[in-house]
Amino acid sequence: MEFDAGKLFDGRANRTTAEALRKAGMKTGAGEWLGFSLVASVACALAALATALALNAGIALSAAAAAASFALAFARLSTYPARKARKRAELVEADLPFALRTLATELSLNAPFERALESAAGYGEAGREFSRVLADVKRGHSFPRALASMGERIDSVHVRRAAAHLSFAFERGKTEGLRRLADQLTSLQREKMRKHAAKQSVLGLVFVTVGGIVPAFFGAYAVIGSAFLEAAFTPEQILLAYFAVFPLADAAILYYLKKSSPKVKGNA
């Protein structure tokens, strides 16, 4: 009999995971994903335990390393669908102002609604969602129902607002709301870019400090400490600091900058 890992978690965890998987576009059940997260986390914990014991870290420290590895791995894996859903939503939001302006222009020229959606289908991730709306309509769904489904499968309040404005435009023929929403999204993207630029300036200083100033002080301290103070560093420790610790710290800062960069497309 197949084991359902979802039974190990409460109903809220299963529902939250299932919703995140759906919005992330992942064709996996909540129980399957939670089970995979659990097994992979146990494997990470065992690997950490074996490594710590091999390094003679002691039972207590080895157990702590295993527990920390399990907790970190499970936290990252179990929340991966939610993070992927948010990333997908950001990609859709980045293209949405272009698509909405195209829709507003087409509809203001009295173009058929289906043709307007076809014109908007060329704008990246947002365009792909409008293509899915058209596919739903061809399968027999009404435009309002197909647009509502688009809002439900993307983890974004802006996409839901766009779907509501498009439904209103379909029923009433008014496009002012689409243009206003496109302008609001453009302003939000510019604000995100300004905040990211400010964060980039601060982290740039941190990068210079970690990559240049701290290693220089560490080298001076290692030399002075070995010559005049009781503190002494072995050659292996100095090599580890310069070839692993400092480069990894710089890489972590660069990775954070890349991951925190807002998803925007040119001058929307």
Residues 94 and 163 in one domain: yes
In a domain, 200, yes or no: yes
DSSP states of 124-154:
HHHHHHHHHHHHHHHTT--HHHHHHHHHHHS
Please report which helix (H) or strand (E) contains residue 225, including its range.
helix 214-228
Domain boundary (35, 50, 78) is at 78
Residue 267 domain-assigned (yes or no): no
Question: Distances from the Cα of 73 to the Cαs of 18, 37, 79, 81, 130, in angstroms?
Answer: 19, 8, 10, 14, 36
Stretches where the chain sits below pLDDT 50 are: 1-2, 267-268
**What integer pLDDT is reported at residue 223 of this predicted model?**
75
Instruction: Report the pLDDT value the prediction gives residue 61, as an integer from 0 to 100.
Output: 86
Does 176 lie in the same domain as 92? yes
Show which of 16, 45, 78 is a domain's final residue: 78
pLDDT in tens, 216-249: 888 887 777 666 656 667 777 778 788 888 888 8
Do residues 143 and 169 share a domain? Answer: yes
Q: Which pLDDT score is estimated for 46?
A: 95
71 and 122 both lie in a single domain = no
164 domain residue, yes or no: yes
Is 268 contained in some domain? no
Structurally, the chain folds into a number of domains equal to 3
Per-residue pLDDT at 148: 92
- How deeply is 253 buried, as exposed, middle or buried, from its count of CB atoms within 10 A (0-12, 13-18, 19+)? middle
Residues 125 and 210 in one domain: no
Residue 135: give its domain's CATH number: 1.20.81
In a domain, 150, yes or no: yes
Q: Are residues 92 and 179 in the same domain?
A: yes
Domain hosting residue 122, numbered range:
86-183
- Answer yes or no: are the C-beta atoms of 204 and 195 closer than 8 Å: no
Residue 41 belongs to what H/E stretch? helix 30-54
Q: What is the pLDDT at residue 267?
A: 45
- Residues 151-181 as b/e (b if ≥16 CB within 10 A, e otherwise) read bebbbbebbbbbbbbbbbbbeeeebebbbeb
Q: What is the pLDDT of residue 228?
A: 61
pLDDT of residue 130: 92
Do both 102 and 164 map to the same domain? yes
pTM score: 0.72
